[in-house]
Structure 1
Amino acid sequence: MTLLDVSIVNVALPTIKVGLHTSDSALQWVLSGYALTFGLALVPAGRFGDARSRRAVFMAGLALFTATSALAGAAQSQEWLVLARLAQGMAGGILVPQVSGFIQQLFRGAERGKAFGLLGATIGISTAIGPLLGGLLIQAFGVTEGWRWVFYVNLPIGVIALPVAYRLLPAPTAPDGDTPRGEATEGGKGSRRGRFDPLGVCLLGAGTVSLLLPFVQEQQWHSPAKWWLVLVAAVLLAAFVGWELRYARRGEPVVNMSLFRARSFSLGTLLSLLYFAGFTAIFFIFTLYLQSGLRYTALDAGLAITPFALGSGAAAAVGGRVVHRFGRPLVTAGLLMVVVGLVGATIAVHVASGRNVGWETAAPLLFAGLGSGLVISPNQTLTLGEVPVRRAGSAGGMLQTAQRIGSAVGIAAVGSVFFARVAAHPTDWAGAFQTGVLVATAFVVVALLVSLADVLGGRFSGRGNRAAK
């Protein structure tokens, strides 16, 4: 639900504008506001789940997400919708890091890889299938009211999932092997872990918002003054790191900086940021190209993206099962496949004419999707493989935050190139798409270089890049 709502709203924007008479600025906030509050909540919510109860935090996030989805669907004004989306993003950020925390807590070795494989398949499918589902809902319920069902579709899922979560997800448990002697377990009161870190939360939150805001508002906030916020973010995040190092001497911080001493976590987080910068931006500009440039319906645009979703879902499940055998080279191979697939899609758009683009890009997008499935879940398994269970939620939140920052930066960079080309050549939507894809591919290539550096560095140091047992 949470990741579907990142992409499903893209195809609904034209109908939201018709049905609710929203301004362009409000439409931008419907998209960017969700991403902003989602990224803001991830790490603090992950830490809180580690310290108290992952099940309770998961259920609170799920209940809030379901309620805010209902509020968004019932919106009677643009202000109402924007506020509902801000709250919905916050709820998603509360829910998501608990998932990786539970996987770390409940599984070990190859079984953990399989679990992350299913999570990766969910991430790939939900991100890519959003435009298709959105198109189907709008087609079924009409242009004026169809957008409401983009949000209402979450309600039955949430209502069913809440009691299932209470029954099946584990409550806080006794100490496990990952908890040092003398340190309390999840939910321990009066312990180092039980203390929260309010200043760290505030510094991280302010730094994250300052970093994300100029990117998510890149198309609407035209003043170059917005880029000063990146400098502000650098100062705030540097202060956050300094405070966390100091706080770690007397308590458990929001993010324990010792996590970044593990090669797998630091390089894997960087790789994830770079990959999502290219991965997410592709869907953004492809949907715009098809709907605005070629006059595809929302449903047709969603169908054109489906091959990527199918390939990603299938390969992610397989990648999770074999990552413990192949390690980081599997991610490297997946990234190479994505690069080849995206270049193939660019060539297909150059060769294809008119409305045949959807068919011509199907094969290269399927190939890129297969590669993507070998990147997301295996990288998550490797990145979190050396993380202690007691820090799984905050570490998963950091990884997800890197993905959200990457998505925002990628959409801003690729979108600016895309819109600049359209402004200069209003009829050349194909050229704009090709230029945008090249920028997105450049992000994936840099991620590929990071993966190669990890593989080679591991060999030179005599350590394999395998998932932690």
Structure 2
Amino acid sequence: MSTEQARPAPDERRWKALGVCLAAGFISLLDTSIVNVALPSLERGLGASEAVQSWVVSGYALTFGLALVPAGRLGDMRGRRQAFLIGLALFTVASLACGLAASPTWLVFFRLIQGTAAGLVAPQTSGLIQQMFQGSERAKAFGVLGTVIGVSTAAGPLVGGLLIDAAGTDDGWRWVFFVNLPIGLAAFAVGLRLLPRLPAPGKHEEFDLFGVLLLGSGVLALMLPLVQEQQWTGREKWALLPVALLLLGGFWVWEKRQGALGRAPLVDLALFSLRSFTLGALISLTYFAGFTTVFFLYALYLQNGLGYSALASGLTVLPFAVASAIGAALGGRLVMRFGRRLVVIGLGGVALGLLGVVAAVQLVPGPNLGWASALPLLVGGIGSGMTVSPNTTLTLTRVPVNRAGAAGGVLQTGQRVGSAAGIAVVGSVYFAHLANHGRAETAMQLGLLSSVGIILVALVLAVADLRERQVRPEPEKAGVTAGRGWDEEGVRPGS
């Protein structure tokens, strides 16, 4: 009997189950950007110092990134449903604790737990999509996920601004965390009923704890100087980067050894023999390095440079959020037809939109910038939607389902590292020019041009991948691709 004949019929509740995944994904990604506009409220209402504010923002990103790969592998081995629900419950409780925090120290502590919980949830979402959907349906599901990624990231400043405006500056920051509670509780209750269980594995696999230690230490050494770039003065922090390279190199050697001995590695390195996965992960890392920095810079410039309120600043990115949702929906429908060409078009649209914002800053330097940048942000948003979800689909399309969680964790770890690196690099450009010359408009333009330069690197990678596919197409099936190590069910001999 063929693999297709043996595959069970799709679960009729799969689209409703996807809704549960998207709700959890929305609140976990919303929290990466919503707190940015709440920092003045934190300072006034809780007495949070600049160092505390930095850790509230960067600590979440740090623990989020550290948890992704181990959590993805854990879901692959023990069940994505269980890992998802545990992570969601922990995230909801941590959100409540953040909102009730009585001191800055407790807020940072609970925020670190919240980031860890978000990192536990995120790879289960991509793994569950791989598990529940096939073919064009999977592309559409990733398209909807791309919509959520774009909307949640861009809508964070708007939602935060609305909450602070409604609750007041002293206590508004608490509602930035409380807003997660009804969504988290509802998603957990529905998820208990709808989320599918992972079929029992054929053999017991041990969890690679030493691999977790090596990878976690390497990612920590890599991300720490990036997320603390503005707070840690001096060059000593960059000494952690060669340490990170040594640890990550040791992780690679250890994982190869695990595979050679027939043991289950944390990350199956055969994933990187798939060109679609390797190039897609690089494109994702580079794109998020350029894309995430835009909202960071824009909020800084509008509030500090032009005197916008938190709510007004959030409203200015609404065109990007709406357009990103539209672009992601289109991308999910068209990716199976156009493939990597769609990513190339999307990246070109983002670059064009950001150049339009640069022009708007030059031509309309006053308080009307929000209106002047609406059209360029609309163009950039459509491009972003047509980049994120199609690239995710193409990156994971040949990954075996029983490796989907770990693969999703690798992909999203790259996104977190890219975001941290992009903010460090572009933020340095912005703050250095502001400190040396005092011209916020020029600093903003230089920062945006730096973001465009990073996105153009992602565009070059996408074009290179497209040309390579035209010359040497990748085999259609994961099993064929692995003449390189996997059979049709995604199982490596000896694993």
Q: How far apart, CA to CA, are the structure 2 residues paired with 1:462 and 1:454?
A: 10
Contact 1:323 1:466 in 2 (8 A): no
Aligned to 1:94: 120
Aligned to 1:178: none
Cα 1:209–1:335 change in 2 (3 A) is same
The alpha-carbon deviation at position 322 of structure 1 amounts to 1.1
- Superposed CA offset, 1:331-360 (max 9, x none): 000000111110011001100031100000
Structure 1 letter corresponding to 2:128: F
| Structure-2-length-normalised TM-score | 0.90
Alignment of 1:314-325 (within 5 A): 314-325=326-337
Aligned to 2:417: 405
Cα 1:330–1:254 change in 2 (3 A) is same
Q: How far apart, CA to CA, are the structure 2 residues paired with 1:222 and 1:401?
A: 26
Structure 2 letter corresponding to 1:96: A
Query: Can you give the 5+ residue segments of structure 2 that lack an aligned partner in the other structure?
Result: 1-26, 482-487, 489-495
Aligned to 2:237: 226
- Superposed CA offset, 1:44-93 (max 9, x none): 00000000010000000000000000111111111011111111000000
- Structure 2 residue 227 is matched with structure 1 residue 201: no
Match of 2:427 among 389, 409, 415: 415
Q: How far apart, CA to CA, are the structure 2 residues paired with 1:81 and 1:462?
A: 51
Contact 2:398 2:477 in 1 (8 A): no
The alpha-carbon deviation at position 223 of structure 1 amounts to 2.1
The alpha-carbon deviation at position 251 of structure 1 amounts to 1.7
Contact 2:123 2:405 in 1 (8 A): yes
Q: How far apart, CA to CA, are the structure 2 residues paired with 1:329 and 1:172?
A: 34
- Structure 2 residue 146 is matched with structure 1 residue 137: no
Q: How far apart, CA to CA, are the structure 2 residues paired with 1:148 and 1:313?
A: 28
The alpha-carbon deviation at position 463 of structure 1 amounts to 4.6
Structure 2 letter corresponding to 1:140: A
Aligned to 1:235: 246
- Structure 2 residue 146 is matched with structure 1 residue 120: yes
SS at match of 1:399: helix
Cα 1:334–1:322 change in 2 (3 A) is same
SS at match of 1:354: coil
Aligned to 2:51: 25
Aligned to 2:451: 440
| Structure-1-length-normalised TM-score | 0.95
Cα 1:464–1:349 change in 2 (3 A) is farther
Cα 1:127–1:201 change in 2 (3 A) is same
Alignment of 1:6-405 (within 5 A): 6-173=32-199, 184-185=201-202, 191=204, 194-249=205-260, 250-405=262-417
SS at match of 1:2: helix
Contact 2:275 2:474 in 1 (8 A): no
Cα 1:58–1:87 change in 2 (3 A) is same
SS at match of 1:3: helix
Contact 1:203 1:240 in 2 (8 A): yes
Q: How far apart, CA to CA, are the structure 1 residues paired with 2:435 and 2:28?
A: 33
Q: How far apart, CA to CA, are the structure 1 residues paired with 2:176 and 2:256?
A: 43
SS at match of 2:233: coil
Structure 1 letter corresponding to 2:334: V
The alpha-carbon deviation at position 306 of structure 1 amounts to 0.9
Structure 2 letter corresponding to 1:124: G
SS at match of 1:195: coil
Aligned to 1:180: none
SS at match of 1:449: helix
Cα 1:465–1:24 change in 2 (3 A) is farther
Q: How far apart, CA to CA, are the structure 2 residues paired with 1:246 and 1:101?
A: 26
- Structure 2 residue 453 is matched with structure 1 residue 451: no
Q: How far apart, CA to CA, are the structure 1 residues paired with 2:365 and 2:291?
A: 25
Taking only aligned residues, the RMSD between alpha carbons, in angstroms, comes to 1.5
Q: How far apart, CA to CA, are the structure 2 residues paired with 1:155 and 1:47?
A: 27
Q: How far apart, CA to CA, are the structure 2 residues paired with 1:281 and 1:224?
A: 22
Q: How far apart, CA to CA, are the structure 2 residues paired with 1:356 and 1:376?
A: 30
Contact 1:131 1:302 in 2 (8 A): yes
The alpha-carbon deviation at position 425 of structure 1 amounts to 2.6
Contact 1:275 1:444 in 2 (8 A): yes
Cα 1:421–1:465 change in 2 (3 A) is farther
SS at match of 1:254: coil
The alpha-carbon deviation at position 209 of structure 1 amounts to 0.3
- Superposed CA offset, 1:383-439 (max 9, x none): 00010000000000000000000000000000011111111233x211111010000
Cα 1:332–1:465 change in 2 (3 A) is farther
Aligned to 2:8: none
SS at match of 1:43: helix
How many residues are matched?
453
Aligned to 2:22: none
Contact 1:44 1:201 in 2 (8 A): yes
- Superposed CA offset, 1:168-224 (max 9, x none): 0001225xxxxxxxxx35xx5xx2xx2110000000000000000000000000121
Contact 1:382 1:466 in 2 (8 A): no
Structure 1 letter corresponding to 2:359: I
Q: How far apart, CA to CA, are the structure 2 residues paired with 1:347 and 1:158?
A: 41
Match of 1:4 among 24, 27, 30: 30
Q: How far apart, CA to CA, are the structure 2 residues paired with 1:167 and 1:297?
A: 42
Give me the identity figure in percent: 55
Q: How far apart, CA to CA, are the structure 2 residues paired with 1:2 and 1:370?
A: 22
